[in-house]
Each structure stands twice: as C-alpha cells, then as structure tokens.
C-alpha cells in the first residue's frame, strides 16, 4: 500500500528518504518484538534443560502470559484513548468474590452469577469513565479511589457474610454449568491424547493416570486471551471506532472539533477494561475453585507495564494491542523462566523495573521521531 | 510577496453573495464587541477581514460560525435568513473554520487525521470496517492537488511543517463540502515560505468556488490573495475596498486607526 502510493506521487527533493531502520522504529510493536526474541533466546540458551520447554513448562508460562494478556488488552485500548485504570486489580478481586457470593452463598446457578457479575463490573467501569469525563479529573485519581473502594468491599463482604476472606466450593457448584466451562474448561483434549500417544509430548509414567498426557488440553483462559487480542487489534486498527480511540487519546479537543464523540469513546474503553478484568477473575475463580479477598493485587500495574513494554505512550494516542500482548508474553516468560532457571524470584522485580525504565525511554525517543520534535 | 501575478483572482462581478451579514451587533454584558458590522462573501472570492488586536475580528467570525449568536443584525445564508444554534449547525450548512490551533493530531497519520470523525467504511460480513485503502487514496490525491508530497499516507502529521498542517486542514474542510472557509490568522505563526504555501492553497480553494474569509493583521499577506478587504476597528466596519482600489499604506493606516502609525511608520522607513 504505502509503497505504491509513494511511487505514484513521485519524489520530492525536500522529503528526505528515511532508512528502513527508522521506518521500523516507529512501529509501536518493535520494542515488544525485539524483547520477545531476546527473552526467548536468553532462556533457550541458559534454561533449556530446566523443563521450561517441555509441554508442561510451555503450558505453565503460556497460562501466566495469557493472564497478563487479558488485562493488558483492556489497559492498552484505554491508555491509547488517553486514560488509566488503576482499579483493575481490585476489580479482579471484587468480580471473583461476587461470583463466589452469588453462586455459593446465595446458591444461584453459576451462569446467572457470572452474568450478573459481568453486568455489575462493567457498570462500575462505566461509572469510573463517567466520573472521569464529567469532572475532567485525571483518571489516575478517580480510579485510585475505586482501587480502595472495590478492595474494601472485596474484604468486607465475605467477612460479614461468611466470616472468612476466602470463599471456596465453587468447583462443585460449577460442575456441568455451561457458562462456567466457557471460562474454566479446556479444549483440544483429543489432540493432546494423540500427541501423548505418539510420544510428541510428555505423559505420566506411573500412578492412576499412567499413559495420559501431562498437559491434557488448552485452558479456556488462553482462548480468551487470543480472542481478546484479535478483537482489540481489529477494533483499533481496522474500524472507525479505532480511529476515534487514537484521536481521543491524541488530542481530545481536536477530536471533538472534528466530531469525534470523545466522551463516549472513553467511557466505553473504561467498560471494556472492566470487562477484561472480569474475564480474568472468572477464569481464575473457575480454575482455583475459590475466590480470595487478596486476588488481583498489583495487577493494574502489571497490565500497565505490559502495555508500556508493548510500545504504548503513557500520554495516550499511540500504541498497539499486538505490542501489549507481546509485552504480556515477555512478562509471563521471564517471571516463570526465572523460576525454572532457579533464580531468586525477588530478582524478577529488579528485572521488571529495569525493563520498564528502558521501555519508557525508548518510547519517548520513538515519539520524538514520529512528531519531529527535537 | 505583494506581486499578485501568481494568483488568478476570482471574478466576483455579478454573482450573488453566498452569505450576507447585515449590521451585526454583539454585546457581552456592558461591552459592545461589535457595533454594526456588515460583510458579505461571494463564491470563489477571498474576502480579507483586517483589523488590529481587539478590533472584533474573532467575535465576528465566531458569529458567522455559530459560536456566538448576534445581539442584533441579520445573517442571510444562500438567500435565506439563518439562525445558527451552535457550531454544528454552521458546519452542516457548509461553513468550516480552520482555527489557529488546528484540529490535527500530531501522532496520527495524515490519512487518519484527514478522515477523523468522517471515516469511510466498508462492510465485510455485515461488520463495518474502516476503509483504509480508500482513505489513503483520497488523502494522497487531495494532498497532491494541494501540492504537498507525502512520503506516504501513513506519515504522521507531526512530521509536517506548520504551513503543511494548515493546508491539510483546509483540504479536509473543502473535501467535506465546505462552501465558506473561515481561516483565522492562518499565516500568523508561519515562516515566509510556509506562508506562501498557505496563500497558494487559499488560491486553489478559491478557484474551486469556495468562498474564503481570510482573517489577518498582516496587510502584505492579505493583499497577496485578497479580492476585497474589509477593515474592522473598535467593533465597526471602516469600509470595504476592492482589490486595486487601495494601497498597502492606506490599509495599514485604516487598521491602526489613523495618524499615529503613519508617523511611526515614517520614522521606521516603511518596515511595519
């Protein structure tokens, strides 16, 4: 596309040719791609024998990465629209607890519990967004308030109702529920049995499950991550609404002058972020069979870090869902890889801080290239 | 810059004005911002509105673009009395304003900026997608017409110069059906070369039959493209002159409101 248009116009002596390197640099995904290659190269070289690249190991870091991806997609679109949501972590805890209270304490059918929770959480997301666009306050401070409000309720409700901070027994009530299996089930079991039978992946060598593959299917969590990434990417780059997301974050006033419904875009993105957090929470609750008051702690920052590693600007108006997904992948691979490699886990935080700083500096430099600032 | 051989000025004889503003008054509380300003604009004409700071230029064009409602006076648009409730009404009627501070987003590509808020769509399997191919083609075409060579439609607006950004904004307004284009000091922050690019753009737009209201306090820029010149001073029209009927010095004096500048200019050797 770009090449054909270029030749049609013909050369202009004032337009300096830019090198392919510089052209590649302004793609927001670049940092994420380079980082992904670097991280995989590192672990293939230094931790290949640690079990990280067996079927079980791959599934382990894939699940962790997919968790980051789900919340990163929401945070990414919201950040490009020019806002933050610091209440993501608390929303995860709150959503999980609501599902547990509805389904276990109140004995509602699990599918109703999940649906009501989604409606409730997305409404809270809308409220977040509504307050931000109406008051014009920074989303940082509004969602910080909700970080505490939601976490407070997440601890208060189970303590008042059940006198404990963890509600279990969800796996039993979710047995056979159609909607629960959309979040907690696995698919492709037959394929994995076939892989196991053909010695392509590891199988149990003794015990009751002898001969069965160690990894027996792809968790729905990973499917959700892939679906959300594709949805987010298509929405952002291929639709009219995507253009509005960029415009709202790039310069809200200029976008309004051109007839973009900035407020609606922002509120919808807050709702989408809340939706992603609820997907995360539902998958987690179905996997663990319980909801805990401390679930999702610090997830908001991890989502933002993944998005920033993925090349989005903190100031909005620029970024990529694919980049954010790669950021989440780097996050998951490094976190689990260090564990496999037997490195002290506290060093992970050091790594995180360093890579975050590097990414922000790189992004600022890239922005200067794009806008021609000096 | 004042030699006008580069531009073919619109033949404005015998055409009906597209808009007529008659005795417009605008009061803000006890302040009389406009005390009876009359102004008209014909299709394919560049009508310059000149005046010093505080003369009421901004208030006047805001009345024309629907931001302010006049306290008294009449607006006749395409032979019908017009009451704009808000700027959207004016935009829909075909009155577009290109502001000093542009409605352009530096981080976004030229083509995404061009179609911001008016994206072309294409349906695939019932879902409507942003038709990027069409948007890119139209953008390249429009930019080529205006004499801007882009590296590609994906080039970010941030890499364009101030004059080129003005041109993109003007091209966008015209593409989306503006009949009247209000340019609020489009050249005030630009360098010599960029200014001449913008003036050339105004000339191109005029030749397509769009009426241009060019607000400036730079007489040289106004004389370069203007067909008629209306000078505002302290909320009143000091008169409208046709091209060729007035010299730069006279215009300058009118704008400044009299003698003092003439004397000052004498001592400065005509450099103002």
Say if residue A6's pLDDT is above 50: no
Residues of A in contact with B88 (CB under 8 A): 259
Please tell me the predicted confidence (pLDDT) of residue A83.
95
Q: Is residue A205 part of a domain?
A: no
Residues of B in contact with A367 (CB under 8 A): 107
Say if residue A69's pLDDT is above 60: yes
Please tell me the predicted confidence (pLDDT) of residue B53.
79
Say if residue B56's pLDDT is above 70: yes
Q: Distance between CA atoms of A283 and A224, rounded to whole angstroms? A: 9
Ramachandran angles phi, psi of B132, nearest 5°? -65, -35
Which tens digit of pLDDT belongs to each residue from A135-152? 999 999 999 999 999 999
Helix axes A30-46, A299-309, angle to 10 degrees: 100
Please tell me the predicted confidence (pLDDT) of residue A64.
94
pLDDT tier, A1 (very low <50, low <70, confident <90, very high otherwise): very low
pLDDT tier, A24 (very low <50, low <70, confident <90, very high otherwise): low
Nearest CA in chain B to A9: B149
Say if residue A2's pLDDT is above 80: no
Q: Is residue A192 part of a domain?
A: no
CB half-sphere exposure, A204, CA atoms < 13 A:
12
Ramachandran assignment for B80, one of left (phi > 0), alpha (psi -120 to 50 degrees), beta (any other): beta
Q: Sign of the C-alpha dihedral, residues A269, B165, A3, B144?
A: positive
Q: Is residue A151 part of a domain?
A: yes
Q: Is residue A17 part of a domain?
A: no
Which residue shows structure tokens 């061009």? B114
pLDDT tier, A324 (very low <50, low <70, confident <90, very high otherwise): very high
Pick the more confident residue, B188 or A293. A293
Nearest CA in chain B to A13: B149
| Lowest-pLDDT range of A237-246, A323-332, B12-21 | B12-21
Give the gap in angstroms from C-alpha A241 to the nearest C-alpha of chain B: 8
Please tell me the predicted confidence (pLDDT) of residue A25.
67
Please tell me the predicted confidence (pLDDT) of residue A291.
93
Does the beta-carbon distance from A250 to B106 stay under 8 Å? yes
Give the gap in angstroms from C-alpha A40 to the nearest C-alpha of chain B: 31
Does the beta-carbon distance from B105 to A260 stay under 8 Å? no
Which tens digit of pLDDT belongs to each residue from A155-205? 999 999 989 889 999 989 988 889 999 998 888 888 888 888 887 777 787
Percent share of chain A, pLDDT over 70: 92
Say if residue A16's pLDDT is above 60: no
Rg (CA), chain B: 20
Q: Are A204 and A177 in contact (CB under 8 A)?
A: no
Does the beta-carbon distance from B117 to A370 stay under 8 Å? no
Please tell me the predicted confidence (pLDDT) of residue A190.
84
Task: Please report, for residues A72, A183, A220, the alpha-carbon distance to residue A272 in angstroms, rounded to integers and kept in the order given.
Answer: 11, 17, 19
Does the beta-carbon distance from B105 to A259 stay under 8 Å? no
Q: Are A165 and A155 in contact (CB under 8 A)?
A: yes
Of B152, B156, B159, the CB nearest to A5: B152
Q: Are B221 and B247 in contact (CB under 8 A)?
A: no
Q: Are A330 and A64 in contact (CB under 8 A)?
A: no
For domain B19-107+156-268, the question of CATH label 3.40.50.300 is answered with yes
**What does the pLDDT average to over A315-324?**
93
Say if residue A307's pLDDT is above 80: yes
Q: Are A363 and A311 in contact (CB under 8 A)?
A: yes
Taking the Cβ of residue B153 and every Cβ of chain A, the question of whether any pair is shorter than 8 Å is answered with yes
Q: Is residue A148 part of a domain?
A: yes
Does the beta-carbon distance from B149 to A9 stay under 8 Å? yes
pTM, entire model: 0.84
Other CB atoms within 10 Å distance of the CB of residue B25: 16
Interface test with A, best of B104, B108, B156 (most A CBs within 10 A): B108
Chain A residue set in contact with B, beta carbons under 8 Å: 1-3, 5-6, 8-12, 14-15, 18, 26, 238-240, 242-244, 246-247, 250-251, 254-255, 257-260, 313, 317-318, 367, 370-373
Q: Is residue A312 part of a domain?
A: yes
Ramachandran angles phi, psi of A167, nearest 5°? -110, 120
Q: Which domain holds residue A86?
A: 31-43+52-185+231-366
**Number of CB pairs, chain A paired with chain B, less than 8 A apart:** 105
Give the gap in angstroms from C-alpha B101 to the nearest C-alpha of chain A: 9
Q: Distance between CA atoms of B110 and B80, rounded to whole angstroms? A: 37
Nearest CA in chain B to A262: B117
Does the beta-carbon distance from B153 to A5 stay under 8 Å? yes
Q: Distance between CA atoms of B155 and A12, rounded to whole angstroms? A: 14
Q: Distance between CA atoms of A84 and A77, rounded to whole angstroms? A: 10
| Domains identified in chain A, total number | 1
Please tell me the predicted confidence (pLDDT) of residue A256.
83
Does the beta-carbon distance from B151 to A15 stay under 8 Å? yes
Does the beta-carbon distance from A243 to B119 stay under 8 Å? yes
Which tens digit of pLDDT belongs to each residue from A32-63? 888 899 999 999 988 888 888 888 889 999 99
Domain ranges in chain B are 19-107+156-268
Taking the Cβ of residue B141 and every Cβ of chain A, the question of whether any pair is shorter than 8 Å is answered with no
Please tell me the predicted confidence (pLDDT) of residue B14.
57
CB-based contacts of A143, cutoff 8 Å, min separation 6: A84, A85, A86, A87, A128, A132
Does the beta-carbon distance from A250 to B158 stay under 8 Å? no
Nearest CA in chain B to A8: B140
Does the beta-carbon distance from A259 to B133 stay under 8 Å? no
B3-42 residues touching A, CB cutoff 8 A: none
Q: Is residue A328 part of a domain?
A: yes
Pick the more confident residue, B263 or A343. A343
pLDDT tier, B266 (very low <50, low <70, confident <90, very high otherwise): low
Q: Are A277 and A304 in contact (CB under 8 A)?
A: no
Q: At A179, which CATH number?
A: 1.10.3470
Of A3, A26, A239, the CB nearest to B130: A239
Please tell me the predicted confidence (pLDDT) of residue A11.
45
B89-128 residues touching A, CB cutoff 8 A: 91, 99, 102-108, 112, 115-119, 121, 128
Instruction: Tell whether ipTM is more than 0.85.
Output: no
Q: Distance between CA atoms of B40 and A132, rounded to whole angstroms? A: 44
**Residues facing A336 on adjacent strands:** none
Which tens digit of pLDDT belongs to each residue from A100-144? 999 999 999 999 999 999 999 999 999 999 999 999 999 999 999
Of A10, A259, A371, the CB nearest to B117: A259
Please tell me the predicted confidence (pLDDT) of residue B4.
46
């Amino acid at each position: 596309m770009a090449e054909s248009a270029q030749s049609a116009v013909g050369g202009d002596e004032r337009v300096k040719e830019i090198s392919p390197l510089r052209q590649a640099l302004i793609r927001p995904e670049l940092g994420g791609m380079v980082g992904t290659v670097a991280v995989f190269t590192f672990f293939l070289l230094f931790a290949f024998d640690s079990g990280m690249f067996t079927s079980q190991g791959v599934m382990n870091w894939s699940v962790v990465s997919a968790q980051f991806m789900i919340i990163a997609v929401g945070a990414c679109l919201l950040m490009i629209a020019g806002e933050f949501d610091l209440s993501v972590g608390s929303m995860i805890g709150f959503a999980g607890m609501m599902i547990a209270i509805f389904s276990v304490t109140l004995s509602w059918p699990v599918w109703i519990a999940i649906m009501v929770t989604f409606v409730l959480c997305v409404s809270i997301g809308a409220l977040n967004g509504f307050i931000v666009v109406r008051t014009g306050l920074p989303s940082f401070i509004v969602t910080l308030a909700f970080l505490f409000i939601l976490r407070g309720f997440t601890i208060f409700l189970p303590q008042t109702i059940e006198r404990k901070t963890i509600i279990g027994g969800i796996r039993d009530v979710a047995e056979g529920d159609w909607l629960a299996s959309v979040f907690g089930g696995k698919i492709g079991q037959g394929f994995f049995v076939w892989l196991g039978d053909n010695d392509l992946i590891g199988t149990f060598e003794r015990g009751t499950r002898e001969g069965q593959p160690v990894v027996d299917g792809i968790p729905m969590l990973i499917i959700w991550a892939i679906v959300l990434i594709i949805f987010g990417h298509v929405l952002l780059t291929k639709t009219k609404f995507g253009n509005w997301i960029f415009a709202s974050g790039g310069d809200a006033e200029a976008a309004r002058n051109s007839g973009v419904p900035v407020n609606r875009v922002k509120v919808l993105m807050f709702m989408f972020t809340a939706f992603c957090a609820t997907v995360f929470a539902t998958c987690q609750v179905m996997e663990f069979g319980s909801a805990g008051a401390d679930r999702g702690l610090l997830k908001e920052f991890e989502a933002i870090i993944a998005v920033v590693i993925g090349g989005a600007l903190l100031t909005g108006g620029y970024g990529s869902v694919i980049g954010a997904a790669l950021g989440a992948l780097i996050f998951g691979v490094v976190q689990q890889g260090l564990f496999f490699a037997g490195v002290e886990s506290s060093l992970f935080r050091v790594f995180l801080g360093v890579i975050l700083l590097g990414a922000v500096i790189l992004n600022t430099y890239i922005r200067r290239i794009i806008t021609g600032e000096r | 810059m004042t030699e006008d051989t580069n531009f073919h000025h619109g033949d404005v004889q015998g055409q009906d004005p597209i808009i007529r503003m008659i005795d417009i008054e605008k009061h803000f509380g006890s302040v009389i911002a406009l005390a009876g300003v009359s102004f008209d604009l014909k299709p394919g004409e560049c009508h310059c509105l000149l005046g010093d700071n505080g003369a009421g230029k901004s208030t006047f064009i805001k009345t024309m673009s629907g931001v302010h409602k006049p306290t008294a006076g009449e607006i006749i648009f395409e032979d019908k009395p017009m009451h704009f409730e808000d700027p959207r009404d004016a935009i829909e009627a075909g009155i577009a304003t290109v502001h000093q501070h542009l409605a352009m987003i530096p981080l976004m590509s030229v083509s995404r900026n061009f179609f911001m808020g008016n994206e072309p769509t294409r349906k695939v399997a019932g879902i409507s997608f942003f038709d990027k191919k069409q948007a890119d083609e139209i953008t390249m075409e429009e930019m080529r017409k205006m004499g801007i060579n882009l590296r590609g439609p994906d080039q970010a607006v941030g890499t364009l110069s101030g004059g080129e950004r003005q041109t993109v904004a003007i091209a966008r307004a015209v593409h989306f059906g503006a009949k009247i284009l209000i340019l609020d000091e489009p050249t005030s922050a630009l360098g010599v070369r960029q200014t001449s690019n913008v003036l050339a753009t105004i000339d191109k737009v005029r030749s397509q039959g769009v009426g241009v209201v060019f607000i400036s306090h730079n007489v040289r820029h106004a004389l370069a493209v203007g067909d008629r010149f209306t000078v505002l001073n302290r909320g009143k029209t000091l008169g409208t002159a046709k091209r060729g009927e007035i010299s730069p010095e006279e215009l300058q004096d009118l704008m400044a409101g009299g003698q003092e500048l003439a004397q000052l200019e004498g001592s400065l050797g005509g450099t103002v």
